[in-house]
Amino acid sequence: MEKGVFMAAIPIFIALVAAPVLFGAVHTYAYTTVFTLVLIGALITAVSQVRRDPESGKLCYEMPLVAMNGVMVVGILWCLLQMVPLPVAVVNWLQPKSFFYAQMAQSPQDSSRVAVSLAPYLWPVRQSLVRFVVYGMLYWSLIQILSTRKRVETLIWLVLGIAALESLYGLYEAFSGTHRILWYGKSVSSGNVSGTYINRNHFAGLMEMALILAVCAGAAIRVGRLESGVKSRIKSELLRKIFPFISGRHGGEKRVILLVLGAIIGLGLIGSASRGGILSAAAGLFVVALLFLKTEDTRKKGKVMLAVVAIASILAFRVDIEKVLQRFERIDASLEVRNRYAKQTVRLAADFPVTGVGFGNFKHAYPHYQSPEDKDYFIDFAHNDWAQLVAEAGWGGAVAAAGCVAALLAEMWIRWRKRNQSWSLCLGAAGIGAAVAIGFHSYSDFNLHIPANAMILTAVLAVGHSALVLQRMRSGYQLGHRMWKGPLWGKGGVALLLVLGLIAYALNGTLRHAAAEAHCQTVPNSTLRKPAPPTVSDCLKAIGHDAANAAVWFKLGLAVSVLQTADEERLQAAAQPVLSPQWASIDHAAAASIRDRLAEAVRSEDETRRRWRLNQAAIAAWEHAAALNPFDAHTHLTLGWAYCRYPEDPSLQDRWIGYSEERMKRAAYLAPMDLYLQESLGNYWIMRASRIPSHPVAFQVTLNKALHHYARVLSLLPEPQKKRTRDRMIQTATRYGLKFEDLLKIGKL
């Protein structure tokens, strides 16, 4: 068993080092690497827990009974609740807005729906489920790996070492003037310390957790008695004068090293100029200080904390401290923006009160609720993890999550109260302090959505837990938490299969997503060169790996639509890989339909019919994208335009126009503050008006719709941009042949 646990520690420790270095593991190649390493370590840990029972002689499976088990179970069950198809009547009664978006996901040609999910878009929920499993397995593995004091201290040195190196690297880059992160040229917050993180606030999240761990680790070291001899006394007296908290030789050197590491980390935190990070670190250290005051053995340890903070503050004046102070002067304006995000997020939560909009769906659903002040931004996160949790999990999920966090902290608090050893008390306080700090910071940022920070927090919590449960016995160290044991050919085997099933699910999801992204990139990646637009073949390969990602289907539609203007030679070249024998039977109905229509287009000699077939193929791809993700206004907009092109049967033109108008209404509803989309909607209604000049009433109604969207765009623009935009609108109307008096109406907007 010990050998297996040791082997499990290798990939997990590598992952904890790699995650911060690889830009916080926010990009596909980075989080795929670290997640795979963690899951491999979890797999080895799970297998190593199979052992022979000394009493019965039977093979048994053991697993720890800790509060984190409940956290992981609740997270998994809530994701499943959001994804499982339910009867339409149940969803409409439980959360009407989910049913509304389920209707929006349907094609206008098809209104039949028997069962729908509470989460309108399932792919982000599946990706979130993978992350929950990874973080849960990381904690579960670490508390079994950290079965000796030496291993706990090894992990502490590992975390503090990587944090200090991140800080030194960030300081070097900030003051050298290169403003680069490894090979990536930094464009955001240049001049501030951010290590290898792209965002300095997320770097500050790492620093605040590491600083608390450094303080607690320094306080945990028990210094031995003085040695006899003149030299030893002189050395000890000198150390005592320089570092008053050192009372002897043994452990003193470690404290000095931890003090230096803490000072470097504190310097990096202040150099990041992150107000939330600095205040959160202060909150975490304050909680640690309160814990230290609770027991006689740790009451004097506050000196370590004060020394670290004091030295970091002194060194901070070597940094551009004015920049930090200026940012604190602008804290009201920053809080106003973040509070606006949170206010709009609460509006989103009010529409999905029970189970939420679905984990990971915030960025897809938020454009409908976006305020006019933020019209120029695409907002991925609410900058308030607590508000975003309520929006994505609903009030039911938020209450369940709060209960799980309370249970986890309560478990640590109860164990902390029962211990009387300085080492256990100090390191146990590190887990609580780090959780408080990151929780405080989450009020104004989204650190828990950064894989590296979530993993480091998990590691610090595991350190705190292991320090509180480790008991020294004559035969060695023993973990003091309760263990559940079951026979391998009974309930133990069932438990093992469940654990292995979760690991297999997460590993499969991680690798399939990475393989799909290799063919068709849908997750932004600023650190690598932007790839060329994917071809039809690339998109179909990506769909073969991950068919639930709506963005891949949207890009497939774009790749097909580009072929409408291609000559025959280019069309043949693009279609040849898709029509090869390897694609003869595609394991997806929608993809197979697109392939068949593409084949018909290639065989067709009539150019009009060829274009219509290609347009049909593109429409099929976009309709599937809209069915997967009904939140995407641009998919509905694209479909609305596509329905108007090349009708195969003129008698069906009115029906297709009806479908087109329905898509445009959905797009207008989903993104009212998207200026490009609103102007495109105005252009659409101008086009529609140009086709019915002989029907005055219908013409005027249609023109008014165009003017409505144009007026919305102009009302959101600053004065210097209005004239250029208005001129562009007039040019569009002129191109569609509108009369002069109609153009004057646009000019008066």
Q: What are phi and psi of 106, to 5 degrees?
A: -75, 150
Q: How confident is the model at residue 477 (pLDDT cuts 50, 70, 90)?
A: low
Whole-number Å distance between alpha carbons of 564 and 612: 8
Distances (CA, A) of 314 to 145, 160, 211, 319: 38, 21, 16, 10
Residue 254 has pLDDT above 60, yes or no: yes
Please report which residue ranges of 146-274 form alpha helices under DSSP H: 149-176, 200-220, 230-242, 252-271
Q: Which residues pair with 181 in a beta bridge?
A: 184
Q: How confident is the model at residue 482 (pLDDT cuts 50, 70, 90)?
A: confident
Over residues 199-237, the pLDDT tens digits come to 889 999 999 999 999 989 888 876 543 333 444 444 445
Whole-number Å distance between alpha carbons of 360 and 357: 9
pTM score: 0.89
Averaged pLDDT of the chain:
83
Over residues 308-348, the pLDDT tens digits come to 555 555 544 454 455 554 554 454 456 678 888 888 999 99
Average pLDDT for residues 369-380, to the nearest whole number? 85
Q: How confident is the model at residue 375 (pLDDT cuts 50, 70, 90)?
A: confident
- Res 587: pLDDT: 65
- Res 248: pLDDT: 39
Whole-number Å distance between alpha carbons of 574 and 568: 10
In the chain, % of residues over pLDDT 90 = 38
Q: Tell me the CB-side half-sphere exposure of residue 123, using CA atoms within 13 A.
A: 22
- Res 69: pLDDT: 85
- Res 123: pLDDT: 96
Q: What would the two tokens of residue 225 be?
A: 């008695």
Whole-number Å distance between alpha carbons of 458 and 98: 33
Contacts for 375 with CB less than 8 Å, ≥ 6 apart: 673, 674, 675, 716
Whole-number Å distance between alpha carbons of 387 and 59: 47
- Res 35: pLDDT: 97
Q: How confident is the model at residue 307 (pLDDT cuts 50, 70, 90)?
A: low
Q: How confident is the model at residue 110 (pLDDT cuts 50, 70, 90)?
A: low
- Res 516: pLDDT: 94
User: Which is more confidently placed, 293 or 673?
Assistant: 673
Over residues 63-108, the pLDDT tens digits come to 888 888 888 889 999 999 999 999 988 999 999 999 999 888 887 7
Q: Which residues pair with 59 in a beta bridge?
A: 52
β-strands 59-64, 50-52 pairing = antiparallel
Given a contact cutoff of 8 angstroms between Cβ atoms, the answer to whether 284 and 290 are in contact is no
Using DSSP's 3-state secondary structure scheme, residue 192 falls into coil
Residue 404 has pLDDT above 50, yes or no: yes
Q: How confident is the model at residue 650 (pLDDT cuts 50, 70, 90)?
A: low
Whole-number Å distance between alpha carbons of 193 and 200: 7
